[in-house]
């Protein structure tokens, strides 16, 4: 796989490189000079294959900023230059540790496409050393460390759950980093459930299921991330179940991450859920202010600057949301400081929080608001949605409302059943599953659900 990272002379790569140069040239006059020099000029054309262009950013700040502000512009301009639609993936350069010694520039990906290729390269920044431990995550972190001490025996499987952006993926990579440090060839397989599903479907289509299984089952340590992504995907679940059994019965270590508990992974097959529960189940909660503050200072240090205590504390208290949001705030602050060529100050932090995060302090919508949003787009009256009616369009709207309620509130099925006119919890699960399946099958339906979600709970 190492040759994926080489700049060989193949035609595509040459065309890509010169197209990329032209894209940068064309933006030169259009964006402020400092922005161009700091954020765009350093982006390097890295790899091109199957209409996916990979471009390397020289650090996390540049990556976050470019992704946020310029990704779509860059992708469109590049597509125009190449004369066809393409996907642009931004990668972060691995500065800490070269990943492929023979190549000048190497890259690690925050996008799933690279990290899930068979030779998995964990993000070198996601180590145990860089993981700040507090009350909110200490069990999960201890579990992950314990895995290293007794691979496949003590906590098997280890199941980590928690809301997005709280460090689950970080811990999975930390396990991989530590193991690969000792033995770079150790058979670790990291895969997101989404990627598992895509690979599996591809394998089915190209009649290469055996090969797919061989790859998954060759793992000594199997790290599966975001397992909730396969809810409602029956065949994939079945395959995960068999993979799990195979690995487990041959004493391999399994670590699973999810945004909810095994019990709440409904409507997943009970057999799979109880397998997930059979080892250590550890949660990650939102960190308290002190931990948030420590995380910020540690991130700043990794990026090579010192974040004063008062500013860190201010951000920890005023930036809402997950650790990922905190990081975003720090990135923005550093970018502002760099563009304005000033030191980071409390004033700067205050106005940045006002500019970017005021809108985010948005409470979760209430059940009533969800029903109203569904009603608006489906033209079914609110009172009908929770009524006994079994008419097709009404049932359909009801199912969408059930789906949205569950996604937004994460309430128990039983409680959701009560909200929908004291219905049985199994009918709630059924409605949810139906919508979930349809979202994947039917583009129009998918767009409908998306637009309701955008109405009632933007940015989620």
- Locate the DSSP E strands across 212-341: 221-225, 253-258, 280-284
Residue nearer to ligand ADP on the CB measure, 132 or 315: 132
Beta strands 253-258; 280-284: pairing state: unpaired
Q: How far is the CB of 336 from ligand ADP (least distance, A)?
A: 20
Asked whether position 167 contacts ligand ADP by CB under 6 A, the answer is yes
Residue 437: count of CB within 10 angstroms of its CB? 15
Residue nearer to Mg ion on the CB measure, 152 or 162: 162
Q: Is the CA virtual torsion 413, 418, 419, 421 positive or negative?
A: positive
Q: How far is the CB of 5 from Mg ion (least distance, A)?
A: 24
Read off the tokens for 158: 């280890």
Identify which range of 19-27, 164-172, 177-185, 364-372 contacts ligand ADP by CB under 6 A: 164-172
Contact 131, 123 (CB under 8 A): no
Q: How far is the CB of 145 from ligand ADP (least distance, A)?
A: 13
Instruction: Collapse the DSSP code of 375 into the 3-class scheme (helix H, G, I; strand E, B; otherwise coil) and give the result.
Output: helix
Identify which range of 79-87, 260-268, 273-281, 322-330 contacts ligand ADP by CB under 6 A: 322-330
Asked whether position 292 contacts ligand ADP by CB under 6 A, the answer is no
Looking at beta carbons, which residue is closest to Mg ion? 169
Asked whether position 297 contacts ligand ADP by CB under 6 A, the answer is no
**Contact pick of 46, 47, 121, 168 for ligand ADP (by CB under 6 A):** 168
Looking at beta carbons, which residue is closest to ligand ADP? 167
Asked whether position 324 contacts ligand ADP by CB under 6 A, the answer is yes
Give, in degrees to the nearest 5, the angle at Cα 44 between 39 and 45: 135
Residue nearer to ligand ADP on the CB measure, 141 or 416: 141
Contact 248, 254 (CB under 8 A): yes
Q: How far is the CB of 307 from Mg ion (least distance, A)?
A: 24
* CA–centroid distance for 20 within its chain: 27
Phi-psi region of 254 (alpha: psi -120 to 50; beta: other; left: phi over 0): beta
**Contact pick of 67, 312, 323, 456 for ligand ADP (by CB under 6 A):** 323
Q: Measured between alpha carbons, how far is 401 from 372 in angstroms, rounded to an integer? A: 9
Q: Measured between alpha carbons, how far is 227 from 276 in angstroms, rounded to an integer? A: 10
Q: Is the CA virtual torsion 192, 194, 196, 202 positive or negative?
A: negative
Strand partners, 87: 52
Q: Measured between alpha carbons, how far is 109 from 184 in angstroms, rounded to an integer? A: 18
What is the Cβ-side half-sphere exposure of residue 190, based on CA atoms within 13 angstroms? 25
93-132 footprint of ligand ADP as x/- string (CB under 6 A): ---------------------------------x---xxx
Asked whether position 396 contacts Mg ion by CB under 5 A, the answer is no
Q: How far is the CB of 282 from ligand ADP (least distance, A)?
A: 12
145-174 footprint of Mg ion as x/- string (CB under 5 A): -----------------------xx-----
Residues in touch with ligand ADP (CB under 6 A): 126, 130-132, 137, 162, 164-170, 295, 323-324, 327
Residues that bind Mg ion (CB under 5 A): 168-169
């Amino acid at each position: 796989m190492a040759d994926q990272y080489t700049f060989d002379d193949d035609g595509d790569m040459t065309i890509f490189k010169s197209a990329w140069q032209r894209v940068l040239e064309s933006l030169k006059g259009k964006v402020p000079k400092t922005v161009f020099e700091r954020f765009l000029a350093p982006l390097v054309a890295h790899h091109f294959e199957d209409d996916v262009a990979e471009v390397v950013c020289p650090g996390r700040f540049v990556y976050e900023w470019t992704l946020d502000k310029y990704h779509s512009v860059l992708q469109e301009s590049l597509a125009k230059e190449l004369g066809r639609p393409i996907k642009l993936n931004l990668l972060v350069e691995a500065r800490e540790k070269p990943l492929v010694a023979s190549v000048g520039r190497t890259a690690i990906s925050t996008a799933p496409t690279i990290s899930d290729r068979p030779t998995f390269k964990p993000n070198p920044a996601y180590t145990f050393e860089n993981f700040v431990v507090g009350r909110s995550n200490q069990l999960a972190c201890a579990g992950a460390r314990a895995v290293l001490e007794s691979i496949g025996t003590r906590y098997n499987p280890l199941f980590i759950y928690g809301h997005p952006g709280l460090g689950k993926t970080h811990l999975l990579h930390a396990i991989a980093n530590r193991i690969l440090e000792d033995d770079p060839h150790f058979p670790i397989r990291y895969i997101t459930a989404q990627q598992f599903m895509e690979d599996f479907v591809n394998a089915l289509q190209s009649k290469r299921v055996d090969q797919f299984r061989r790859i998954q089952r060759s793992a000594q340590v199997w790290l599966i991330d975001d397992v909730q992504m396969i809810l409602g995907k029956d065949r994939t679940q079945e395959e995960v179940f068999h993979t799990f059994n195979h690995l487990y019965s041959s004493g391999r270590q399994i670590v699973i991450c999810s945004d909810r508990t095994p019990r709440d992974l409904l409507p997943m097959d009970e057999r799979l859920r109880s397998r997930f529960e059979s080892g250590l189940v550890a949660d990650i909660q939102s960190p308290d202010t002190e931990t948030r503050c420590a995380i910020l200072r540690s991130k700043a240090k990794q990026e090579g600057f010192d974040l004063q205590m008062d500013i860190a504390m201010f951000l920890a208290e005023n930036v809402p949301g997950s650790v990922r949001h905190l990081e975003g705030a720090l990135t923005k602050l550093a970018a502002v400081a760099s563009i304005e060529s000033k030191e980071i100050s409390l004033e700067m932090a205050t106005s940045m929080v006002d500019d970017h995060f005021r809108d985010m302090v948005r409470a979760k919508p209430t059940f009533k608001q969800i029903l109203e949003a569904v009603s608006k787009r489906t033209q079914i009256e609110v009172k009908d949605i929770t009524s006994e009616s079994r008419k097709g369009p009404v049932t359909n709207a009801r199912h969408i409302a059930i789906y949205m309620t569950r996604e937004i509130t994460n309430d128990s099925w039983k409680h959701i059943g009560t909200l929908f006119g004291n219905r049985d919890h199994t009918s709630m699960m059924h409605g949810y599953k139906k919508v979930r399946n349809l979202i994947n099958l039917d583009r129009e339906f998918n767009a409908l659900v998306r637009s309701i979600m955008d109405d009632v709970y933007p940015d989620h």
